Amino acid sequence: MSIEKTKMNYDKDRPSASNALKIMDVTFRDGHQSLFTTLGRTEDMIPVAEKMDEIGYWAIEAWGGNTFGAMHAYLNEDPWERIRKLKKYIKKTPLSMLLRGQNLVAYRNYADDVVEAFVDRAAENGIQIFRTFDALNDYRNFETAVKAIKKAGQHFQGCICYSMTEQRMGGDVYNVEYYVNKTKELVDAGADSICIKDMAGMIAPYDAFDLIKAVKEVANVPVAFHTHFTSGMASMSHLKAVEAGVDILDTCMSPYAYRNSHPAIEPLVMTLLGTDRDTGFDINDLAEINDILEKEILPKYKSLLKDDKVSIIDINVPLFQAPSGLFANIESQLEDMGELDRLGEVYAELAKVRRDLGEIPLVTPTSRIVAIQTVNNVLFDEGKDEYSIISAQVKDLCYGLYGETAAPINAKLIKKALKGYSKGNKPIDCRPAEDIKPELPQVREEVKGLAVDIEDELIYALFPVSGKRFLKWKYGKEEPPASVSPITLEEALKEQDLIEKARAGKLVDPESINRGPERSEHVRAFGVYVENEYFEIEVDEVGGPPVVTYASGPLNQVPADTIVPMAAQGSIPAPPKAVQSAPTQAAPVAQAAASAQPQSAAPAPAQTSSANGTPLNAPMPGMIVDYKAKVGDSVNKGDILVVLEAMKMENALPSPVSGTLQAINFASGDSVAKDAALCIIG
């Protein structure tokens, strides 16, 4: 790289570089997806959209990935509307989306008719660059999407998902040769540019250099590089990629950068200033955008930032060759099941399950498939054969419905997974979608009278449960819950203020204290001593006269929230209940997104049936997809009775006994707790 001292002014009028680095900004998609579980709202992009359009980005990524799912399910926003709105402000810079190939923006391969319609509508609404990937790097899953992208006259960027099986790039599967071959395949498929997509932030800087150099040698189109800051190496990898001649890098505006997100743009602009790779961006303009984001937008999202760790990096990523989202999935699944203490066992089992499944790259949806199957193995295999509960997605993978894996799948596992599999017990070797019949005719039938156009139908086709619920909100057939409505900056600041006051033990705002029902005649007063301080608390039994049990344990066993002045205990208390239910809904939304399940509210209570017989209990919390038998049907032990979705994976649950189905306790779409009696066999 050469440097010219004369080119070092900060404004954009400086002479342009001979080989200026191009930048795609990903703040509006991967940035908030990585930091705020994709809960960024369109209204929070608009205040800076016009200014962003002036920077000179190669593209702005604003759609796809998880945005489609999160918007309709948790924000009550029409995903299609976001492109149209942004397009009004971003007129010069192309809008980009992340397309999961035949998976579109969801978790399985869809039929060709759905893929064609989806790409057509995305392009029609304003997407010009389709960054397309397949979790298995099986480019047969691109065929239909690429035809549709080309037909719409738009840019097809083909991705290679970066994966490793060793501590650094190399080994038998994911070595330089693998990536060079994949690049050639993409060039042959008509890629207008190529992207090395390191979704986990695993790549080491010198590997990035070698990889970009090798790919540049065989690619006759621009090469982009996408990595995450998660493990702390991304800024270094960016610089090495620039030195290796990368054409396009992905960055975020600094308030949306780092942690699980991407390196920020500003330090990169400064680093390359005056060199032959100078971006040409005006630092002052970037600073202005940052100021708006920092002061007017970010306070609304601060509560979603997982800031319970001091460190902003996660070194588990290169250690386990897995994205940090996978660890989050595993942790929340184990937590829901009350088995968090088995985390270590699950991590230890992870590499084996991945090997059994053909060393697949770990990216949505394969990261979830591996994560949840590993949890199932650790929790349910004890005393049984391995893979005692195989998710429907693992069965589909074994059958070949996701495509060809980089290494062969364990033959014993294929045999076990495909025993009784509905499509047959011999894996396919054709393009997966050839095995899927057109889906739109049935979709149309199912949402007749609710969906108004093809865009509505696509929302339902991709997300049948939450999509249908969204369409009811959209057309006023159902009232959306308060948790999906936006909060204002004022509300966000007020909430922050309350939390800070509570932490300091100064919560005096009378509005925020939950006064509860009137004291009854049975109220009893107790004195509580905390070291040298004395408090009087009153206890009133809810729903009846008091039954007082005298506790003999030490005082600190008194439930924390029955003692009001918490600061007296000398430690920083959690915000009191009154604050958690303060005016905004940020917290419940975050929880809903974290559990990543399309549920409307709290899980339905486990119902008990009066029918006599043996219950089929939910082995894990989840959502009922459907029941495979009706009341009165006779069933054999081992017959699949219920399909339960947990962490987006479907688990087929067999009948524990033979008999007659006596009662069905839930309906499709219901959320159930662990151990809920799903049905009764007698």
> Binding residues for Co ion, per CB under 5 A?
30, 199
Q: How far is the CB of 179 from Co ion (least distance, A)?
A: 18
Place of tokens 């970010």: 298
Amino acid at 438: P
Q: How far is the CB of 201 from Co ion (least distance, A)?
A: 8
Cβ-contact 402, 429 below 8 angstroms: no
Rg over CA atoms, the chain? 27
Nearer to Co ion by C-beta: 97 or 641? 97
Nearer to Co ion by C-beta: 100 or 354? 100
Q: What is the three-class DSSP state of 313?
A: coil
Q: How far is the CB of 315 from Co ion (least distance, A)?
A: 19
Nearer to Co ion by C-beta: 113 or 198? 198
Q: How far is the CB of 26 from Co ion (least distance, A)?
A: 7
Q: How far is the CB of 343 from Co ion (least distance, A)?
A: 25
> For 320, how many CA atoms within 13 A lie in the half-sphere containing its CB?
25
Token reading at 438: 């057109």
Nearer to Co ion by C-beta: 30 or 456? 30
Cβ-contact 598, 465 below 8 angstroms: yes
Closest CA to 322 of 206, 224, 209, 230: 230
Token reading at 598: 């399309």
Nearer to Co ion by C-beta: 45 or 195? 195
Q: How far is the CB of 31 from Co ion (least distance, A)?
A: 9
Nearer to Co ion by C-beta: 62 or 465? 62
Cβ-contact 585, 485 below 8 angstroms: yes
**CA–CA distance, 273 with 168 (Å, rounded to integer):** 31
Which DSSP helix (H) or strand (E) runs through 64?
strand 59-64
**CA–CA distance, 491 with 291 (Å, rounded to integer):** 20
Nearer to Co ion by C-beta: 30 or 645? 30
Q: Which residue is nearest to Co ion (CB)?
A: 30
In sequence order, what are the beta bridge partners of 76? none
Phi and psi at residue 534, to the nearest 5°: -115, 135
Q: How far is the CB of 661 from Co ion (least distance, A)?
A: 45
DSSP conformational letter for 373:
H
Amino acid at 199: M
Cβ-contact 483, 497 below 8 angstroms: no
Token reading at 365: 């949806």
Token reading at 80: 């299609």
Nearer to Co ion by C-beta: 362 or 443? 362
Q: How far is the CB of 380 from Co ion (least distance, A)?
A: 32
Cβ-contact 535, 505 below 8 angstroms: no
Nearer to Co ion by C-beta: 447 or 593? 593
Other CB atoms within a 10 A radius of the CB of residue 556 amount to 9
Q: How far is the CB of 229 from Co ion (least distance, A)?
A: 11
Nearer to Co ion by C-beta: 199 or 679? 199
Place of tokens 């984001």: 293
DSSP string covering 444-510: HHHTTTT--SHHHHHHHHH-HHHHHHHHHHHTTSSPPPGGGS---HHHHHHHHHHHHHHHTT----G
**CA–CA distance, 358 with 367 (Å, rounded to integer):** 13
Q: How far is the CB of 461 from Co ion (least distance, A)?
A: 25
**CA–CA distance, 223 with 211 (Å, rounded to integer):** 11
Sign, CA dihedral 227-229-231-234, equals positive
Q: How far is the CB of 543 from Co ion (least distance, A)?
A: 50
Nearer to Co ion by C-beta: 136 or 661? 136
Q: How far is the CB of 34 from Co ion (least distance, A)?
A: 7
Token reading at 146: 């690429």
Sign, CA dihedral 630-634-640-646, equals positive
Place of tokens 């865009």: 455
**CA–CA distance, 122 with 107 (Å, rounded to integer):** 18
Q: How far is the CB of 30 from Co ion (least distance, A)?
A: 4
Nearer to Co ion by C-beta: 30 or 266? 30
Nearer to Co ion by C-beta: 30 or 404? 30
